[in-house]
Amino acid sequence: MNKLTKAALATGVATALLVGGGTTLALWNDAVDVGAGGDITTGALTLDATGGSWSDDPDQWVPGDSFTYTTQVSIVAQGDNLVSELSINPSSITGTPALVDALATTMTVDAVQNGAMTAVAGQENVFTVTPTDATTGTPVEATVTITVDFPSDSVSELVAQGATAELSALQLRLNQVESA
């Protein structure tokens, strides 16, 4: 065997022994606890609605009818830099497409306590929720009124006659949004 082959063979055997023997080929290293201290705790975002009722029994609607649903909401929006929005979930109204498409929904917010609910410019039925103190978890309380209209000019001829729209699953939704 020539010298080059012997050297390559010796290097291969030495490498196999080092790797196979549990030793590492790593260079020195170290780690230190920087004493950053403190744990993190997450906040909360919850929505509850109670005591809802319709202004009238919404049955056998005709174009031009309008009914309101009023409920009390309680929103916990706790956390640093938390921005949230309350809105109507449009997909929660289901039924015959011609009637569902003809209905118009609007939402108003009144009697807000422990914070503010501000309409979002350019977005229908969307309100920014701002608690008085986002660190305590004190609920923002408000009266929410949802108006469901069947505008007289939304259908013509026989469109949406004998149709159904399921309003019993009507939903409000509360979403965290990116802060501006």
**Exposed, middle or buried by CB within 10 Å (0-12, 13-18, 19+), for 99?**
buried
Establish if 11 belongs to a structural domain.
no
Give the total number of structural domains in the chain.
1
Establish if 120 belongs to a structural domain.
yes
Location of structure tokens 């609605």: 49
Rounded-to-integer distance, Cα 124 and Cα 52, Å: 22
Q: What is the CATH number of the domain that holds 106?
A: 2.60.40
The Cα angle at residue 132 between residues 131 and 133, in degrees rounded to 5: 90
Which pLDDT score is estimated for 100? 92
- Order of all β-strands in the sheet with 44-54: 44-54, 66-78, 140-149, 104-113
Establish if 7 belongs to a structural domain.
no
Q: pLDDT tens string for the chain (180 positions)?
A: 677 777 666 676 666 666 665 556 678 888 888 877 788 888 999 999 998 888 887 678 888 889 999 999 999 999 988 999 999 999 999 999 999 999 999 999 999 999 999 999 999 999 999 999 998 899 999 999 999 998 888 888 888 888 888 888 899 999 999 876
Rounded-to-integer distance, Cα 40 and Cα 45, Å: 17
| C-alpha dihedral sign at 70, 54, 61, 100 | positive
Domain extent at residue 114 = 44-177
Establish if 124 belongs to a structural domain.
yes
Which pLDDT score is estimated for 48? 95
